[in-house]
Structure 1
Amino acid sequence: MALMPRGELRIYLGAAPGVGKTYTMLEEAHRRAERGTDVVIALVETHGRKHTAAMLGDLEVVPRRAMDHRGATFTEMDLDAVLARRPGIAVVDELAHTNVPGSRNAKRWQDVQELLDAGISVLTTVNVQHLESLNDVVARITGAQQRETVPDGFVRAAEQVELVDMTPEALRRRMAHGNVYRPEKIDAALGNYFRTGNLTALRELALLWLADKVDDQLGRYRTDHAIDSTWETRERVVVALTGGPEGDTLIRRAWRIAARTKGADLMAVHVARSDGLAGADPAALARQRVLVESLGGSYHQVVGADIPQALLDFARGANATQIVLGASSRGRFARLFAAGVGVTTIARSGSIDVHLVPHERAGQGRRRGPLPAALSRRRRAAGFAAALLGLPLLVALLKLGPHLSLTNNILLFLAAVVGVALIGGLWPALIAAVGGSVILNWFFTPPLGRFSIAEVQNLLALAVFVAVAVAVSWVVDTAARKTRQAAQASADAQTLATVAGSVLRGERPLMALLDRLRETFALDSVTLLDGDTVVAGVGQQLCATPAEADVEVKADGDLTVLLRGRILEASDRRIVEAFAAQAAVALKQERLATEAAAAKPLAEANRLRTALLAAVSHDLRTPLAAATAAVAGLRSPDIQLDDTDREELLATTEESLDRLDRLVANLLDMSRLQAGALGIAVIEVGAEEVVPRALDEIGPGGRQVRVHVPDDLPPLRADPGLLERVLVNLVGNALRYSPPGQPPVITGSSHGGIIELRVIDHGPGIPHDRWDDVFLPFQRLGDRDNHTGVGLGLALSRGLTEAMGGTLTPDETPGGGLTMIVALPAGEPA
């Protein structure tokens, strides 16, 4: 029996509700139906949107299944009915929906999976905030936690994912026109989840997530079709690092190449041989990794015996377009025998561009350290002893024993040479091979007792003996060396992995590094010295000078790591150098963080002091000058004033003194806020009590303001006097910028235990990138009259609101203008 083919899944992805996912999905359903495909509506949520409901048209709709839960009736998709109907395509809206308890599946995406397994293709919708991998990110951006999620793997496995896109401005206009939510929900939605900044961030998340899926699809296609050539969908620059000092130059050059194209990727790769850290400077690699990551790139390490091939395999696997290499440091003599990594890479690169970058060490020859010994000294000594004692013993046994042919004698001596190689390695085995050939010639090859050979075949046999003995000795020695190097590399990797884990988990990376170094090598103490100053240390009896240490390792610049407890082997010292390099980086980061933390309040205080002097000197002088002039006019005996003039001067004096009083009050309140000494008495108060008092305090201008606060609005928790001050400042600003005939509006709404009071104006507004600036003290953004206050109003209003446990945030008024939203906790409903 043939297996039923699985249905195809097409998902319409949106950045937010209201972008038109369901509408677009229904358009596709109609197109499929017109082409003769059997299409049914398994479940579509119109949410009362008339345009979406009209798109259902004459498509067949499978009736929903009613379910009772906790005394209420809910409807869900009737999965069994859809399976029994067996359409070609089922339209299933809201993929992330959680089914009513008692349903066969907990999630709707699991219902869709059953439809696909039954061979039914599905059209469905999902928003980016419901993707499992982005759920926490969206919550931080919007402040709203989404409880319904879909596994990313299920969405990525879809045959088609189509982004239904809409600009934030267009979506907000659609909402303002009532095309998404009911009228009573529009203000709250626009002021919270559907802020322009939120929508912009969600849109970018959706685009980036879809771009990653497209990149995955491209990678699978290239793999399935065995495509090795580079497809230049975007620039990817790979820089090859050897661990040498030229690495910094190469990284910066590669970054400049990548920076020429927007969105290009920078990847650094180090090809490690099978010799652990013997082929590279771990300290240099550690510094270069930090440099790459600070420039926005990524660091990779691969293992390969053929460095050019390993590098090209990595580049082709990453679909890289360019490779940056350092010019060969091999000398001229060495280049006669091998072309070098750069030339070989260029010859094999194909469509990948290769850049050879000159540096200071180019052509100067490599400085290699001595190869590590394959075996220990004890093993080598035992090998020499076996060669010097074993060969005479073998001669005695052959002379005293039965007579054997020359061939048998050669085989026995060959076995002895192999045994010496297994015990002591190459050099004892070479001595045994040479000595064995001499002994065979003297004692067992005719003419005996002479260093001459009578027959050509005996000469050939001895030559083969020497060649095989040397070859076997070399193989045994090489295998022993590789085994030791592999063990050393494994130990090095394990140590460095443990170091990385401890540093990532620790709150203080520097101390974690030093402590891990002490534990790894069983040291008494580890000290980090900057010049002659002890910066940090762990353990007992820290070293104050290099003379007190058993081991001294240079880290970076004047930084030195001092170890006390034992002398380290050369292989261990390389690991300590890696520790030291990371310690230097960690110290720099801690110092930068400390300096930034110390400088921030100083810079802020200096900025505030400068702004205060500039603003107060101006704003104190203006009302003082007006009041002084008015009082002088009243007191002057040379000026004859009638009652009207006298009233005008008195009014000017009173207005100027009121401005001074408000200025001083704001300054005192701001200083109390910053000192934490402002007295606050939070109680439950109704908006209908506070708003009229604030408008009365404003004066004649307050009577122009329109108020739309519902009668059933719950009370809010606030200090009535402070809330009144906040509203006076906000309404005063709104009146200042409102055009004639469009007075400010105050609205109130409640949702989720929060009461929001909105002060809405239709003035010129403020650019989004300056919204945070309006709350900085002594800022007057876009004032048409620069003689109206020191710019403390909004800063003080936000401070007072937050002191009462609320928030003050700006938003864009649909149609133009600025909306200030005061959000405070709701009290108990009356």
Structure 2
Amino acid sequence: MHEPRRGRLTVYLGAAPGVGKTYAMLGEARRRGERGTDVVVGYVETHGRPHTTAQVQGLEVVPRRELVHRGTTFTEMDTDAVIARRPEVVCVDELAHSNVPGSRHEKRAEDIEQIRRAGIDVITTVNIQHLESLNDEVERITGVKQRETVPDEVVRTADQIQLVDMSPDALRRRMAHGNIYQADNIDASLTSYFRVGNLTALRELALLWLADRVDDALDDYRRAHRIDHPWPTKERIVVAVTGGAESETLLRRGARLAQRAAGSELLAVHVISTDGLAVPDDRRVAKVQQLVDSLGGSLHSVVGEDVPTSVVDFATGANATMIVVGVSRHGRLRRLFAGTTGDRVAQLAGSVDVHLVTHDQSARAGRPRWYLSPLSRTRQYAGLLLGLLLPVLLTVVLDHFHEPDQLPLDVLLFLALTVLVALVGGLVPALLAAVLGFVLMNWFFTPPLNRITVAEPENLVALLVFVAVAVAVATVVDRASRRAADAVRARAEAATLGALSRSVLTGTDTADAVVTRLRETFGQDAVSLLERTAAGWTVLASSGGPCASHPDDGDTKVTVDDDHLLVLCGSPLRASDRRVLEAFGVQTGLVLEYRRLRRREEEAAALEGAEATSTAVLRAVSHDLRTPLATMRASVDGLVSGSLDAADRAELVASVDSSTEQLERLIDNLLDLSRIQSGLMRPALTPRSLDEVLPLAVAGHGPGLVSLEVDEDAPLVLTDAGLLERVVANLVGNAVRLSGGEPVRVLAHVLAETVEVLVVDRGPGVPPAQRERMFEPFQRLDDSSPGGLGLGLAVARGLAESVGGSLAAEDTPGGGLTMVLTLPRALP
């Protein structure tokens, strides 16, 4: 019995509202209808757009279902009616829509799922900002939190996804022409959500999300059709690294190969052997990670028994086009019998190209010293002693109770003794016990007795098998002890390095915390961090009491950098502890670097503030002081002339009084800025309400010239009220002068972390190429801006930056200029 057919899902994905998703969906419905397909419209929202409404004409529309919620009647898609109608295809707009309470399903996506289960194909629409995974990103970009979202999986698993895209400028033109929203909403939308930066970011999100979906679809297709060989959709270079000195050579060669084709990826793979014997050098692996990051690639660690197989499996899974491996570092004998990694990778790679790179480390592998044991000296000495004594004691005991034809039992007892010695002292004592046991059994228990010769061949075979088994067992026991020691050491190192990594990521460690952790980890009496100065060595931090004031005073030293040392006082450390000790040195260097960076950041911030203040002072002196002084000079000249009547004299006196008041206010601000520049005073950054500051800034202009539109519920901003008032006053004054009688609008736009004060005029505007010049002093931008925009805006930007804000210019839709003053929101 066959399962019922499941309807296909086609999604028209929009980069932003208004790009034409619904129009495209209806166009597809009309094309299918013309080809004879039974198509209906289950739900469509035209938003009053004439072109979209025209697309609905001629299509069958299923009547909507009416629902009453809180005394208001709403309409939703009638899912049952659509299923009862049983068309071949149904168009359902707004996939992320939340249904009115009382509906069968909470989300429209669930209605669509029910329709698809009935075997009906669905064409739907959704905007990129409604995807659940991108909701936070969209809010940070636009300042608007989307309340209606849909899980990514619903869209990602669609049978077909069509991206409906449009350039930001084209979309803004469509908005300005009234093709998206009503006329009374156009200005607000263009200056808030539909700004060029917002639209560009949303467009990039849509393209990146869809690119990931295309990669997923390609991987699904390859898995479904069991395609194991890579498809060269784009260049992916896999570099096999060991952590050795040759890794840097291989990575740089791989990076050069990746740079030859646009869009290539560099992937480094490090295989961790499962035998537990090959322990990579963490410092070298860390250097490899840093180099990969600097080359723009990514490092991947995989676990595998066979290195060539693991490398090829990773490359195939990553759809790689080339594998870069190095020439073997092993000697000729091993290469002759065991082959090389490069040769085996080439044999297993199939259609993947293999690039073999020579390097200085080839055939220079160090020879392992088998006789070195990871056990302590005490256990090794005890093993040697037992290896000499136990065979002799066992011989004495067996000689006392020896029976003829008892050699097999003797062999087993001596073998057990050899295993015991191996457990205690490792490989060398066990070999000693095996050889000594062979000699003693030959002399005392193998006919002819008390002679080295062996009369019976089977006895000789038994003795030789004993030696071989004893050597094999001792080797296995020794390897097991090495693995156990490595595992314990690796566990301890992993725990310590993990704690260090967490402290590095959080950035909360101090020098005192590092030396304290170092003393506790290695059980030292005391630890000191020394710094080299012109007067000698000084102690920056210490733990456990006074340790050393000079490097020669300590028992163990770790170099942090050229001017800093860690000095440990206590029991000497083992050589195996040096790796973790070096990690502490790196951690200490990071802590010191963080300290230096914080200090430099504070100095840079102070210098930047002083520079901004100095610039603002100079611009204000050259611009704002000149106007009141000229007015006062003209008024005084008129008063001195003595030829004026009483009314004219009173008007001139009033001008002098007004100019004096303005001059006093400017001088007070300049004195404050001068104190800021000298470091004696900083701007008083406090939470302030725009509803308190902006009315003062726009005061003094005639009725109808300025429209202040600030919501009383707007959040507080962190600023200096006096300086903010001066910035806005400059902007409004320039806007009024350029608007030609048109009212200037002052708006407040609330974003996630900032608040934007917009000063919108309908003047001649400024070409984009000249907008940065108008913030420079003494710039009037030729005839395109009569009256000048330069000096006032230069002062405004300088003051805005001194209080932690920023000032920029944008086009006003329909003509004019919009000044955008961005201020940080005050934290709750």
User: When the two structures are superposed, what TM-score results if normalisation uses the length of structure 2?
Assistant: 0.79
Query: Could you say what secondary structure the match of 1:178 adopts?
Result: coil
Quote the residue 1:507 is aligned against.
508
Structure-2 separation of matches of 1:612 and 1:321: 61
Deviates more, 1:567-576 or 1:325-334: 325-334
- Paired AA for residue 71 in structure 2: G
Quote the residue 1:793 is aligned against.
792
Structure-2 separation of matches of 1:611 and 1:692: 23
- Paired AA for residue 604 in structure 2: A
Structure-1 separation of matches of 2:112 and 2:664: 66
Structure-2 separation of matches of 1:367 and 1:672: 74
- Paired AA for residue 180 in structure 1: I
Q: 1:732 aligns with which of 728, 731, 734?
A: 734
Deviates more, 1:484-493 or 1:381-390: 381-390
Structure-2 separation of matches of 1:451 and 1:567: 49
Correspondence 1:35-74 to 2 at 5 A: 35-74=35-74
8 Å CA contact 2:612, 2:799 repeated in 1: no
- Paired AA for residue 810 in structure 1: A
CA deviation string 1:278-311 (max 9, x = no partner): 7433234334434443554433323334334433
Q: 2:584 aligns with which of 579, 588, 592?
A: 579
Correspondence 1:469-488 to 2 at 5 A: 469-488=470-489
Query: Could you say what secondary structure the match of 1:41 adopts?
Result: strand
Q: What's the CA shift for 1:183? A: 0.8
- Paired AA for residue 441 in structure 1: N
- Paired AA for residue 551 in structure 1: T
Using a 3 Å threshold, how does the CA distance of structure 1 residues 332 and 767 change in structure 2: closer, same or farther? farther
Quote the residue 1:127 is aligned against.
127
Structure-2 separation of matches of 1:617 and 1:243: 63
Quote the residue 2:185 is aligned against.
185
Quote the residue 2:809 is aligned against.
810
Quote the residue 2:647 is aligned against.
none
8 Å CA contact 1:283, 1:582 repeated in 2: no
8 Å CA contact 1:274, 1:486 repeated in 2: no
The answer to whether the aligner puts 1:21 opposite 2:28 as a matched pair is no
Query: Could you say what secondary structure the match of 1:694 adopts?
Result: coil
Structure-2 separation of matches of 1:691 and 1:178: 31
Structure-1 separation of matches of 2:685 and 2:390: 96
Using a 3 Å threshold, how does the CA distance of structure 1 residues 724 and 379 change in structure 2: closer, same or farther? closer
- Paired AA for residue 188 in structure 1: A
Query: Could you say what secondary structure the match of 2:47 adopts?
Result: coil
Deviates more, 1:246-255 or 1:466-475: 246-255
Correspondence 1:690-709 to 2 at 5 A: 693-694=700-701
Q: What's the CA shift for 1:225? A: 4.1
- Paired AA for residue 3 in structure 2: L
The answer to whether the aligner puts 1:439 opposite 2:440 as a matched pair is yes
8 Å CA contact 2:10, 2:123 repeated in 1: yes
Quote the residue 2:103 is aligned against.
103
Structure-1 separation of matches of 2:516 and 2:363: 41
Deviates more, 1:23-32 or 1:671-680: 671-680
8 Å CA contact 2:109, 2:150 repeated in 1: yes
Quote the residue 1:89 is aligned against.
89
CA deviation string 1:400-441 (max 9, x = no partner): 255435445444444443444445432233223222322332
Quote the residue 1:78 is aligned against.
78
Structure-1 separation of matches of 2:417 and 2:688: 98
Query: Could you say what secondary structure the match of 1:300 adopts?
Result: strand
Correspondence 1:680-829 to 2 at 5 A: 693-694=700-701, 726=728, 729-730=731-732, 732=734, 746-747=744-745, 758-761=759-762, 763=764, 765-767=766-768, 773=772, 778=777, 780=779, 782=781, 791-794=790-793, 796-797=795-796, 810-814=809-813, 817-820=816-819
- Paired AA for residue 27 in structure 1: G
Using a 3 Å threshold, how does the CA distance of structure 1 residues 558 and 72 change in structure 2: closer, same or farther? same
Structure-2 separation of matches of 1:211 and 1:18: 22
Q: What's the CA shift for 1:450? A: 1.8
Structure 2, unaligned stretches of length 5 or more? 644-654, 677-681
Query: Could you say what secondary structure the match of 2:286 adopts?
Result: helix
Using a 3 Å threshold, how does the CA distance of structure 1 residues 801 and 498 change in structure 2: closer, same or farther? closer
The answer to whether the aligner puts 1:456 opposite 2:463 as a matched pair is no
Using a 3 Å threshold, how does the CA distance of structure 1 residues 680 and 212 change in structure 2: closer, same or farther? closer
Correspondence 1:2-13 to 2 at 5 A: 2-13=2-13
Query: Could you say what secondary structure the match of 2:12 adopts?
Result: strand
Q: 1:676 aligns with which of 676, 679, 683?
A: 683
The answer to whether the aligner puts 1:315 opposite 2:322 as a matched pair is no
Query: Could you say what secondary structure the match of 2:154 adopts?
Result: helix
CA deviation string 1:542-561 (max 9, x = no partner): 64333343432234444433
How many residue pairs are counted as aligned between the two chains? Answer: 792
Deviates more, 1:410-419 or 1:199-208: 410-419
Structure-1 separation of matches of 2:274 and 2:523: 27
8 Å CA contact 1:384, 1:428 repeated in 2: yes
Structure-2 separation of matches of 1:758 and 1:226: 61
Q: What's the CA shift for 1:136? A: 1.4
Structure-2 separation of matches of 1:277 and 1:393: 36
Structure 1, unaligned stretches of length 5 or more? 635-642, 644-654, 697-705, 826-830
Structure-2 separation of matches of 1:205 and 1:714: 31
Quote the residue 1:647 is aligned against.
none
8 Å CA contact 1:277, 1:489 repeated in 2: no
Using a 3 Å threshold, how does the CA distance of structure 1 residues 29 and 788 change in structure 2: closer, same or farther? closer
The answer to whether the aligner puts 1:568 opposite 2:576 as a matched pair is no
The answer to whether the aligner puts 1:233 opposite 2:233 as a matched pair is yes
Structure-1 separation of matches of 2:406 and 2:375: 35
User: When the two structures are superposed, what TM-score results if normalisation uses the length of structure 1?
Assistant: 0.79
Query: Could you say what secondary structure the match of 1:442 adopts?
Result: helix
8 Å CA contact 1:619, 1:787 repeated in 2: no
Quote the residue 2:373 is aligned against.
373
Query: Could you say what secondary structure the match of 1:63 adopts?
Result: coil
The answer to whether the aligner puts 1:283 opposite 2:287 as a matched pair is no
Correspondence 1:115-514 to 2 at 5 A: 115-244=115-244, 251=251, 254-274=254-274, 279-324=279-324, 340-341=340-341, 345=345, 348-352=348-352, 364-366=364-366, 373-377=373-377, 379-381=379-381, 383-384=383-384, 386-395=386-395, 396-397=397-398, 400=401, 402-404=403-405, 406-508=407-509
8 Å CA contact 1:381, 1:424 repeated in 2: yes
Quote the residue 2:552 is aligned against.
547
Structure-2 separation of matches of 1:160 and 1:440: 81
Identity %: 48
Q: What's the CA shift for 1:365? A: 4.4
8 Å CA contact 1:813, 1:819 repeated in 2: yes
8 Å CA contact 1:274, 1:305 repeated in 2: yes
Using a 3 Å threshold, how does the CA distance of structure 1 residues 623 and 186 change in structure 2: closer, same or farther? closer
CA deviation string 1:436-480 (max 9, x = no partner): 322332233332332112333433333333222222222232233
- Paired AA for residue 579 in structure 1: F
Correspondence 1:555-634 to 2 at 5 A: 555-564=560-569, 566-603=571-608, 605-606=610-611, 609=614
- Paired AA for residue 683 in structure 2: G
Give RMSD over aligned pairs: 5.1
